Structure 1
Amino acid sequence: MLTFAFPGRVIDANCYVLATGPGEECLVVDPGIGIEDTLREVLREHRLRPAAVLLTHGHLDHVYSVTPVCGGDTAAYVHSDDRYRLEDPLAHISAPLLAMVEQQFGARATWREPERVVEVTGGQTLELAGLTVDVVHAPGHTEGSVLFGVPTVPDGVADQVDVRSTVLTGDVLFAGSIGRTDLPGGSDAAMQRSLREVVLPLPDTALVLPGHGPATTMDRERATNPYLQGL
């Protein structure tokens, strides 16, 4: 699987591009703030065409550039419980945080809702851009947070570490940490259930591509992540 990862310009939210190979359709996952130029270069260099945008959740730092990417037949896929956030994600962050984002971004934030939005639910399997993607509902960071599971791994990774599948965890699971639950729509109780019933059952051979920070593996997180201990 051809895989590219690069952070947005604000809060370093990771954007991912997945494809079966050069010259093919691709999936764009979590296009955040200020990723357009880098994304455009990746698409041009590898002759990729976005077939869909997958959103792990509806927070601004993960969805801000969804509309520039979407259009025509390219839809944004989001869990039904986070669908309301795409109406105006700017309305769901505090004024001080918005001011900080705009100062760091260097421009006034604007928003236009995607023309095509497809609501997904946990347990669905999507067939997009030649890839099979499992949708796993994992609320806690937001009501509609999901993991996206793919039964393959980025090219070359399996030569370096024992991984056989990939899971994009958004802001549910990070290397050594988890997503915060004190924002509107967050729930510590729901996060604990998601960690116990969704994250812990993931196989040790799963490569974890999180919404922030470096990639990791479930084997490593199970052994070292303090938020998974004792669950």
Structure 2
Amino acid sequence: MSLKYKIIPVTPFQQNCSLIWCEETRKAAVVDPGGDLARIRSAIDQEGVTVEKILLTHAHIDHAGGTAELSKTLGVPIEGPHKEDNFWIVGLPQQAQMFGFPAPEVFTPDRWLEDGQQVTVGKQILDVLHCPGHTPGHVVFFHRESALALVGDVLFHGSIGRTDFPKGDHGTLVRSIREKLFPLGDEVAFIPGHGPMSTFGRERASNPFVSDHRG
């Protein structure tokens, strides 16, 4: 029995919200519910799973905008991101105004996450890696048995996260990718916050920002 996933693009930014679940227990988590909650609830119903928590990689509006409402609707706790992203959560209403999103409710996660901790989904265990750079409190979820990582906006197929937002830092982001993600193994597939999936091996070989031959 393993971890299953379904990618649900949400918001005008086509953010990859993920529904992940334990095949054995049918217990699930929603990762980064940025909005379009009817679409997310429809996916939950289609798969016939029971959501037990919300997981957040970081607190930008397209990833976290629907969090408070979904948490209340489903009666489930919120885990993540790292506490360094609290200023982004507090600023969700301003983010919404700036990007033309519906005004979201500010929330406090039930559990802030730290590097080296773990989260559970049913009987499945995912490692938490603190990977700052895009935001200071960004975390990545890694399921070792499936060789699957949910990386939010740290890394994309052929690109990396933006670092021009408050408290973003390009050098820190590159270090997060090279020192935290790539050592997990070339075979690891990842779900990025936007766009198609890829593998760490493919990005090490060809990503113009972080490939091995960039030195």
TM-score normalised by L of structure 1: 0.83
1:124 to 117, 123, 135: 117
Asked if 1:52 corresponds to 2:53, the answer is: yes
Instruction: Report how far residue 48 of structure 1 moved.
Output: 1.5
Instruction: Report how far residue 134 of structure 1 moved.
Output: 0.6
Distance 1:22 1:43, change over 3 A: farther
Instruction: Tell me how far apart the structure 2 counterparts of residues 117 and 88 of structure 1 sit (CA, whole Å).
Output: 18
1:70-219 correspondence runs (5 A): 70-71=71-72, 72-91=75-94, 93=95, 98=98, 101-102=99-100, 109-114=102-107, 116-153=109-146, 165-219=147-201
* Stretches (4+) displaced over 3 A: none
TM-score normalised by L of structure 2: 0.89
Unaligned runs of 5+ in 2: none
Instruction: Tell me how far apart the structure 2 counterparts of residues 205 and 122 of structure 1 sit (CA, whole Å).
Output: 22
Instruction: Report how far residue 21 of structure 1 moved.
Output: 2.6
Matched position secondary structure for 1:226: coil
Unaligned runs of 5+ in 1: 154-164
Instruction: Report how far residue 152 of structure 1 moved.
Output: 3.4
Aligned residue pair count? 209
| Identical-residue share of aligned pairs (%) | 32
Instruction: Report how far residue 13 of structure 1 moved.
Output: 0.9
Instruction: Tell me how far apart the structure 1 counterparts of residues 64 and 85 of structure 2 sit (CA, whole Å).
Output: 11
**Would the aligned equivalents of 1:76 and 1:114 in 2 still touch at CA under 8 Å?**
no
Matched position secondary structure for 1:78: coil
CA displacement, residues 132-187 of structure 1 (integer Å, 9 cap, x when unaligned): 0111011100001111101233xxxxxxxxxxx10111100000000010111201
Amino acid at match of 1:134: D
Instruction: Report how far residue 117 of structure 1 moved.
Output: 2.5
Instruction: Report how far residue 223 of structure 1 moved.
Output: 0.9
